[in-house]
Amino acid sequence: DAGVIQSPRHEVTEMGQEVTLRCKPISGHDYLFWYRQTMMRGLELLIYFNNNVPIDDSGMPEDRFSAKMPNASFSTLKIQPSEPRDSAVYFCASSLQRTSDEQFFGPGTRLTVL
């Protein structure tokens, strides 16, 4: 298996623009997580899905953030409109059967909002 795949790896955009990050989890994994990592706040859980259904989005910082998982092999995290403080590395991770199982992380998307 190729592992968790994320695209793009780097994204540079201007304030106010819409940003869409993409993730393909490991096949057969029931759980998908979106994290954000910054120097100031560390690694934060934004939202997670179980069998394509959003379970907990309490970590989503604002209404500007939204996430979808239309099928078991694809998820998106959208920021609209983007702001400079959204600059961070965004990770997608998946796990087999439980949220507390070993999580497999993708390589991340480094987002820079100018």
Partner 1 sequence: SQQGEEDPQALSIQEGENATMNCSYKTSINNLQWYRQNSGRGLVHLILIRSNEREKHSGRLRVTLDTSKKSSSLLITASRAADTASYFCATDESNDYKLSFGAGTTVTVRA
Q: Which stretch binds partner 1 (CB under 8 A): 16-24, 42-50, 60-68, 77-85?
A: 42-50
Torsion of CA 31, 3, 69, 72, to 10 degrees: -80
Is the CB of 41 or the CB of 85 nearer to partner 1? Answer: 41
Does residue 4 touch partner 1 according to CB under 8 A?
yes
Does residue 100 touch partner 1 according to CB under 8 A?
yes
* C-alpha–C-alpha distance, residues 68 and 63, integer Å: 14
Contact 47, 36 (CB under 8 A): no
Does residue 12 touch partner 1 according to CB under 8 A?
no
